[in-house]
């Protein structure tokens, strides 16, 4: 199971066998059932999660009672409430498994130790944060600069397997429109 993470790290930087052993010793493996929460609103986030298999969503409960999905974490991706993790203030978000999921957990208490003792992780996590930031900017651009139909077309073309994998109401929330509108778009596409 650790080999998936080590291979991912190796795509971005070199990690030695002794460094792998140090990292492996600090990671926790967990199987998360569908609909199980890793973090709930008002808790302080104390972990980063590397998704080995499955899917996790980061979402916020809005004032009007809806759920707004901000991010998905799929295989070979890190997910967390980075702000709560860094500031140690209560989270505004929930992290929930959409399907049975396996994760590797990096606790905050081990984070700085690893950066000191496994220096390649500084490079790796900097690159992961850059990728996450770029993905967030791209999502904002798509939501602000494209029509709902264009957002759906672009997302379904870029991630066809993922569109089939997640529930329709979650996809609609992530793309910023109602499930009814998504049904209409899909019907229009199929006709």
Q: What is the pLDDT of residues 94-111, one digit of tens each?
A: 999 999 999 999 999 999
Q: Which residue shows structure tokens 């759906």?
A: 152
Domain residue ranges in the chain: 2-121
Q: What confidence tier does 128 reach under pLDDT thresholds 50, 70, 90? A: very high
Q: Are 58 and 73 in contact (CB under 8 A)?
A: yes
Distance CA 18, CA 15 (A): 8
Q: How far does CA 45 lie from the centroid of its chain?
A: 14
Residue 2 burial (10 A CB sphere; 0-12, 13-18, 19+)? middle
Q: Are 19 and 6 in contact (CB under 8 A)?
A: no
Q: Which residue shows structure tokens 């790796």?
A: 124
pLDDT for residue 171 is more than 70: yes
Quote the pLDDT of residue 189. Answer: 67
pLDDT for residue 163 is more than 70: yes
Spell out the residues 6+ positions from residue 132 whose beta carbon is closer than 8 angstroms to its own: 78, 82
* Total-model pTM: 0.90
Q: What tokens does 63 get?
A: 């004032």
pLDDT for residue 125 is more than 80: yes
Quote the pLDDT of residue 191. Answer: 60
Q: What tokens does 145 get?
A: 């600069």
Decide if domain 2-121 falls under CATH 1.10.150.130: no
Question: pLDDT for 3-61, tens place per residue?
Answer: 999 999 999 999 999 999 999 999 999 999 999 999 999 999 999 999 999 999 999 99
Quote the pLDDT of residue 175. Answer: 87
Percent of the chain with pLDDT over 70: 98
């Amino acid at each position: 199971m650790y080999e998936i993470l080590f291979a991912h790290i190796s795509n971005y930087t070199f990690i030695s066998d002794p460094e792998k052993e140090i990292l492996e010793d600090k990671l926790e493996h967990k199987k998360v059932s569908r609909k199980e929460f890793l973090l709930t609103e008002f808790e302080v986030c104390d972990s980063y999660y590397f998704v080995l298999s499955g899917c996790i969503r980061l979402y916020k409960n809005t004032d009007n009672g809806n759920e707004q999905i901000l991010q998905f974490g799929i295989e070979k991706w890190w997910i967390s409430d980075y702000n709560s993790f860094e500031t140690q203030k209560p989270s505004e978000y929930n992290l929930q498994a959409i399907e049975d999921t396996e994760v590797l957990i990096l606790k905050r208490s081990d984070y700085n130790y690893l950066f000191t003792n496994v220096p390649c992780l500084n490079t790796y996590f900097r690159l992961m944060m850059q990728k996450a930031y770029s993905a967030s900017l791209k999502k904002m651009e798509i939501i602000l600069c494209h029509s709902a139909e264009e957002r759906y077309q672009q997302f379904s073309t870029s991630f066809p397997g993922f569109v089939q994998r997640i529930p329709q109401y979650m996809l609609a929330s992530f793309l910023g429109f109602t499930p009814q509108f998504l049904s209409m778009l899909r019907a229009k596409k199929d006709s």
